[in-house]
Amino acid sequence: MAVVHRTTMNPGKLELLASWLPLQPWYAGRPGRAPELAKAGGFRLDDPEGEVGIEFMVVTDTADPAAPVTYHVPLTYRGAPLPGGEAALVGTSEHGVLGTRWIYDGTRDPVLRAQLRALLRGGAVAQAQSASDTPDLTVLVAPGEDGPALSVTRVLNPHAPAAPAATHVTAVWRDRDGTPTRAVFAALRGE
């Protein structure tokens, strides 16, 4: 089981994401306006080898108060660079216990992809985002057709229905006023 350390990261995750998000093709914020991010939820998965931290982070951009946008940002944390992963690098950070961490867009990290597939197929258990060795019982997998294509939802919309036939995972985050909200985070789809 992964250990969640109570320590600092410099720069912090939100700081790194504020620079990285506007560069992504799925970024829904206003061009030219820096995001104002707040952590809104998420969960973790364990790496069976114990080397890579895996987090499914949810952040809400409130830069436009009239139209906040909630993002699902899968991240991996590594003690050394991911070979061939330069294009997926979100940034580096100094962890108060573990030292330098290379932080990647997890959708492009083979360890996260393998563990997400394991979760969708019943071979992994979602863990609480901020507690060690604690299952997150709010993360639900709905079985269905099991295709080879793994899709990840980036902009979370609680009103978007899941493809009813696809195996998918839903999780909960808190919206601006603290209301628990659920949406599809990822699915296995046919090609």
Tell me how far apart the alpha carbons of residues 77 and 55 are, in angstroms, rounded to a whole number: 8
Average pLDDT estimate for 113-141: 91
Q: Which of 63, 50, 52, 66 is nearest to 17 (CA)?
A: 63
The per-residue pLDDT for range 93-119, each reduced to its tens digit, is: 987 666 699 999 999 999 999 999 999
The pTM score is 0.90
Burial class of residue 109 in the structure, from the number of CB atoms within 10 Å of its CB (0-12 exposed, 13-18 middle, 19+ buried): buried
Average pLDDT estimate for 156-178: 81
The per-residue pLDDT for range 4-34, each reduced to its tens digit, is: 556 677 788 999 999 999 999 999 988 878 9
Bridge-based pairing of strands 9-10 and 89-95 is antiparallel
